[in-house]
Structure 1
C-alpha cells in the first residue's frame, strides 16, 4: 500500500513537472511620437522671388533701328547713363533740313527788315506811300513768325536727334531687354526694364481660394531657398484683384520687415503663411484605433516600455491627421504605428527611427 502511494505521488510530481508554462507576450516594435500642442496654423509654403517695388519700362521717344545696346541685364547704371542708341541717320537728315529752312527764312527776315526801314524812311520824308509802308511792316511780321517757326523746327530736330539715345532718368539695375540690336522699334515701344534696387519686396502667387480667406493676423515668413537661415517677416502690400485664368492664382506683393543683404533682386525665396490660433493637438491618423465605436490611442511609458490605451474625442479629420478635443496632454508619448496589434500592459520596443 505504501508502495502504491509513493508511485501515485511520483506520478503526480512528474505530471506537474511536464506541464508547460504559457509563453510570454512578444515584444512588438512600434513607432512613437511626443504629443505637442500647436498654436500656429500653417496655410502652406510657396515659392517666390525678390523683386523691386518700383520698375520702369523704358522706350525710345522716336522710331528707328537700334544700332547698339550699351549695357546687359544685371548691369547697375547711374542717372543719365546711355542704355541703347538708335541709328541717327533719319534724325540727322531732319536736323539738316530744318537748319536749311532756318537759313532761308533768316535771309528773308533780313531782307524784310531792310525793306521796312526803307519804306519808313521814305514815308518820313513825305515821298513814300502809307500803303507801301504798311505792306513792308506786314511782310516783316510775317517773316518774323516764319523765323520763329523755323527756329522751333530746328530745336525740335535737335531734340529728336538726342532722343536717338535712350538714357535713364534715375539710377537702377537693368532687369530685362525686350528688343535687340538691329530691331526696328516704334516710338514708346518697351525696350528695357529698369528696377530701382533701394526698395525690395517679396512676390509670390497664391491660390485664389486661399487669397480670399487669409486671416487679418496672417504672418508671412520669407526665407532664402538656398539658405533658410536668412529670413525675415513680411506683410501684404497688395494682392491682385483677379486670378490669372491659366493658373487660378493671384499675385501677392509683400513688404519686408527687414531686407537682408543676401536678398538681391531675383533671389529665390520660400514664403510660409501662418496664423495664431487657440492651442490644439493634432495627431496622425495612424495613431488612432477604432474599438466598439470609440476612438482610442496607446500611451507609451518610456520607463517600463509598456503601453496602455486611452479613449479620446476627435473634433475633425482630414486625409492625414486628426484634431483632438483633449484626452492627451502635451509631453506624453503615444504609439503612431502598430496600434492594432497591442494589448494593455504589453512590452514594446521603440524603433530607432522613431522621433524622440
Structure 2
C-alpha cells in the first residue's frame, strides 16, 4: 500500500503535465484593416482662392480731386458704366478758354478771307499791288493754321473734361478701390481694380522646395473649403519665377478643368497635389512588427482565421503610417493593433466589416 500511493501520485502529475502541453492558444480579438493599392502619392494640401484670370487696374488720365465714387466693391459693371468722377471745374474752365480762343481765331480767319478776296479783285483789275496780295494770302494761310490749332485745342479740352469721368471698358466686377472720394489723385494713379468674371482660376502659394519639383505628372484637385464635394481638377498655368521675400513661397495659378457654379470670385479653396507613383500600400504605423532585424506584418487568413507573419519592404515611415513597396497584396487583411502579442498560426477574431 505504501508503495502504491507514490506511483498513483506520479501518474496524476504526468497526466496533468500532458494536459498543459495540449492546451490550445487562446483566440485573440484583433483590430485589422484591408490593404488597398495606392498609385498616387499626395504631396501636400494648400489653401487658396478663386480669382479672375484677367484683372485691370484703372486710373484717371487727368489729375484732380475725386468728387464721387459711384460703385462699391462687388458691384458688376457693363462696358461704359461710370465708376468715379473728378471735380470737373478745372477741365470746364480749360474748355471755355479754348472755345474763346477758337471764336477769336475764327473771326480773324473770316477777316483774312475777306482781305485776301479784296486784294485779289484789286489785283485782277490792275489797281492792286502784287505785294499787297501776297501779304493778304500769307495772312490767310497763317490764320487758317491758327484756326486748326484752336480747333485741336478745343477737342483736347473736351477730351480732358471727358477724362474726368472714369468708365469701365468691359464687363467686370469691382474687386478693390484704391482711392476715396475727396482724395486728390494724379494722372495714371491706381484708383479701382476690375476683374473679368467669365474666366476664373485657382491661386495658391507653394513652398520653394515643392515649387521647384513640379512636373507634368502632377494632378491638382481643387475643392471648396465649405463643401469638399464641390471640386474639380486643374493644371498648372503659371508659376511666378521669384519667391515672396517674406513667406518664401511662389505663387501658382491653375487652370480649372471646369468651373462649378459655387466657385465665385474669392471663394476659399483647398488644393491637393498628387503625383503618379509605383504601386504601394499605406498602413497604420501600429501594423509594423520589427524583430530580428526584419520588418513584418501579421496577415490574417480569412478562412482559417489565423495570422501569419510576412516580411515587407518599407518605403516610408511617419508618426502615424507606413508605406510598403511589397509583401502584401490588395484585398488582404492586416492586423493593426497588438502585433507583439501574436504568434504564428494563432487564431484571431476580427470584424470583417471593418475598413
> 2: distance between equivalents of 1:303 and 1:181?
80
Contact 2:80 2:170 in 1 (8 A): yes
Match of 1:253 in 2: 253
State the SS of the aligned residue for 2:336: strand
- 2:183 maps to which residue? 183
The corresponding residue for 2:337 is 337
CA contact (8 A) 2:47 2:204 kept: yes
Aligned to 1:309: 309
The 2-side partners of 1:7 and 1:317 are apart by 64
2:43 aligned with 1:60: no
**Bigger shift: residues 10-19 or 176-185:** 10-19
CA distance in 1, matches of 2:104, 2:79: 39
- Give the alignment of 1:44-193 within 5 angstroms: 44-193=44-193
Unaligned runs of 5+ in 1: none
Q: Deviations over 1:296-335 (max 9, x none)?
A: 1122345666433222233454555443342222212222
Is the alpha carbon distance of 1:18 and 1:234 closer, same or farther for their aligned partners in structure 2, counting shifts above 3 Å? closer
Segment drifting more, 211-220 vs 314-323: 314-323
Bigger mean CA deviation after superposition, 325-334 or 301-310: 301-310
Residues 324 and 14 of structure 1, relative CA distance in 2, 3 Å threshold: closer
Judge which range, 123-132 or 14-23, deviates more.
Answer: 14-23
Alpha-carbon distance change, 11 to 123 in structure 1, aligned in 2, over 3 angstroms: closer
Under a length normalisation based on structure 2, what TM-score does the superposition of the two structures give? 0.89
Residues 171-211 of structure 1, C-alpha deviation per residue, up to 9 Å, x if partnerless? 11111111111111111111111111111111111222222
Aligned partner of 1:227 in structure 2 is 227
TM-fit CA distance, 1:125: 2.4
Q: Distance in 2 between matches of 1:355 and 1:214?
A: 37
Q: Deviations over 1:115-150 (max 9, x none)?
A: 222222222222222112111111111111111111
Identify the range of structure 1 (294-303 vs 234-243) with the bigger mean alpha-carbon deviation: 294-303
Q: What is the CA–CA distance in structure 1 between the aligned matches of 2:341 and 2:13, rounded to whole Å?
A: 35
- Sort the Cα spacing of 1:318 and 1:8 in 2 relative to 1 into closer, same or farther, 3 A: closer
Q: CA separation in 2, counterparts of 1:223 and 1:43? A: 16
Aligned-partner Cα distance in 1 for 2:341–2:10: 39
Q: TM-score, with normalisation over the residues of structure 1?
A: 0.89
Match of 1:267 in 2: 267
Q: Which sits farther off after the overlay, 319-328 or 31-40?
A: 319-328
Check 1:253–1:138 CA distance in 2 against 1; reply closer, same or farther (3 A cut). Answer: same
Secondary structure of 1:68's aligned partner: strand
Which ranges of structure 2 fall in alignment gaps of 5 or more residues? none
Range with greater deviation from structure 2 (235-244 or 17-26)? 17-26
Counterpart Cα distance in 1 of 2:173 and 2:316: 51
CA contact (8 A) 2:279 2:325 kept: no
Q: From the superposition, tell whether residues 215 and 31 of structure 1 become closer, same or farther in structure 2 (CA, over 3 Å).
A: farther
Name which of structure 1's ranges 142-151 and 40-49 shifts more when overlaid on structure 2. Answer: 40-49
Distance in 2 (CA, whole Å) between partners of 1:212 and 1:120 is: 83
Tell me by how many angstroms 1:7 deviates.
5.5
Alignment partners' CA distance in 2, 1:171 and 1:315: 53
RMSD: 2.8
When residues 342 and 167 of structure 1 are mapped into structure 2, their CA distance, relative to the original with a 3 A threshold, is same
Task: State the alpha-carbon separation in 1 of the partners of residues 9 and 340 from structure 2.
Answer: 44
Give the count of matched residue pairs. 353
Which 10-residue stretch deviates more, 318-327 or 195-204?
318-327
The change in CA–CA distance for 1:290 and 1:16 in structure 2 (over 3 A counts) is closer
